[in-house]
């Protein structure tokens, strides 16, 4: 595969683990377009919608789709069979951080799996982590990278993505994509994390 060929990637991993942030980071490049949970790499039933999405791919060096469930076995197996050249970006995040984010997001969006249902959220995290481990073990090192968005620096994340794709996307020139909300971390994130750890997660893990 040469530098001039279009690369296709799948961004996946447990919800609330940084999939969207990684997608936004890549989409700051004029050379890339990653769709947002359109199921482009799995069974796509609506041809008109597919055509609309493909318009955004015109002239791009890197295209793809962010869908967390791509890592689950049925979707992963389908992609490997029908799109063998796809490269994967797996997002990782600690259980307590996923659940903290899930609770906050669930209260805003009304998502049933996330809203005040710790056991369901923990089970979901476990399923996705096990699926990710299985996926990584079945791939060659040049077919994927794994990113722990909260624990890695911007530069390291950029290096991982560009090394995987063997392309310079110019991401290091974009300084606005990684936003840390200090007020949220100090006033909501940490207190709830401590509460969850004390109540549920330590016993589960």
Q: Could you give the angle at the alpha carbon of 4 between the alpha carbons of 85 and 70, nearest 5°?
A: 30
Distance CA 148, CA 146 (A): 7
pLDDT attached to residue 147: 93
CA-nearest of 122, 78, 89 to 22 is 89
Number of residues that this document lists for the chain: 205
Where along the chain do its domains lie? 7-204
Segment 171-177 long-range contacts (CB within 8 Å, at least 24 positions apart): 171/25, 171/26, 171/28, 171/29, 174/25, 174/28, 174/29, 176/28, 177/21, 177/24, 177/25, 177/28
How large is the average pLDDT for residues 87-98?
Answer: 90
pLDDT, residue 201, reads 43
**Higher pLDDT, residue 40 or 18:** 18
Residues 115-139 pLDDT 10s = 456 777 788 889 999 999 999 999 9
Q: How many CB atoms lie within 10 A of CB 141?
A: 8
Q: In what order do the strands lie in the sheet with 144-148?
A: 32-36, 62-66, 7-13, 87-92, 144-148
- pLDDT tens for 151-160 read 888 888 899 9
Q: What is the separation of C-alpha 171 from the centre of its chain, rounded to a whole number of angstroms?
A: 17
Q: Whole-angstrom Cα distance, residue 167 to residue 175?
A: 19
Q: What is the pLDDT of residues 35-67, one digit of tens each?
A: 888 878 876 545 555 566 666 788 899 999 999
Question: What CA–CA distance (Å, rounded) separates 61 from 32?
Answer: 6
Per DSSP, the three-state class of 81 is helix
Predicted local distance difference test score (pLDDT) of residue 46: 54
- Fold of the domain spanning 7-204: Rossmann fold (3.40.50)
The pLDDT > 90 percentage for the chain reads 37
Residue range 8-27: mean pLDDT, rounded: 92
């Amino acid at each position: 595969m040469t530098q001039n060929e279009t690369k296709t990637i799948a961004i996946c991993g447990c919800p609330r683990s940084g999939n969207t942030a990684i997608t936004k980071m890549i989409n700051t490049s004029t050379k890339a377009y990653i769709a947002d949970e359109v199921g482009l790499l799995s069974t796509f039933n609506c041809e008109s919608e597919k055509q609309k999405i493909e318009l955004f791919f015109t002239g791009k060096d890197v295209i793809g789709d962010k869908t967390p469930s791509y890592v689950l076995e049925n979707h992963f197996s389908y992609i490997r069979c029908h799109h063998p050249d796809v490269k994967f970006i797996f997002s990782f995040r600690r259980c307590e951080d996923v659940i903290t984010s899930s609770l906050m997001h669930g209260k805003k969006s009304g998502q049933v799996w996330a809203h005040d249902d710790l056991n369901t959220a923990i089970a979901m995290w476990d399923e996705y982590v096990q699926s990710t481990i299985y996926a990584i073990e079945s791939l060659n090192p040049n077919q994927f990278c794994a990113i722990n968005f909260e624990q890695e620096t911007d530069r390291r994340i950029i290096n991982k993505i560009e090394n995987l794709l063997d392309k310079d996307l110019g991401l290091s020139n974009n300084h606005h994509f990684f936003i840390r909300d200090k007020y949220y971390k100090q006033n909501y994130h940490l207190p709830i994390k401590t509460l969850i750890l004390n109540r549920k997660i330590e016993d589960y893990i």
